[in-house]
Amino acid sequence: GNSVTQMEGPVTLSEEAFLTINCTYTATGYPSLFWYVQYPGEGLQLLLKATKADDKGSNKGFEATYRKETTSFHLEKGSVQVSDSAVYFCALSERSRYGGSQGNLIFGKGTKLSVKP
C-alpha cells in the first residue's frame, strides 16, 4: 500500500541554520506530494505541494522537489527562523493517470522542528 516515511525528530537548529527534513514515499500510481505544517496551537496548513515528477514546490523560503527516481520529497530551507518552529508533515495523495482524484491524504508521522535564537 501507499505510505510516507519521514525523518524522526525532534530537530533542533540555531537561527539561520540550513534545514533538511527527509521524506520518502511508496505509491503504486502517480501521487501528488505535499508538506503540511502545524504551528504551536494552530491547525494543519498546507506549506507547499508538487503534482508531478521534477516539480519544485516552494513557499516561505521552503522548497521541496518531487524526485520520482528516488521516491523522495525532501523539505529544505536555507536559513531558518525562530518562527519556523513547528511540526512538519509530509503527505501524498494518489491520482489517476487520467486525472482526477483517488482519495485521501496519507501522512508521515511528522517532524518537530525547534529553532533557537
Binding site for another protein (CB under 8 A): 31-32, 34, 36, 42-46, 49, 51, 89, 91, 93-96, 99-110
Which residue, 16 or 60, is less far from another protein as judged by CB? 60
Q: Is 12 left (phi over 0), alpha (psi -120 to 50) or beta?
A: beta
Q: 84: helix, coil or strand?
A: helix
Cβ at position 14, least distance to another protein in Å: 25
Comparison of 14 and 53: residue with beta carbon closer to another protein: 53
**In this structure, are strands 75-77 and 86-93 parallel, antiparallel, or unpaired?**
unpaired
Q: How far is the CB of 80 from another protein (least distance, A)?
A: 22
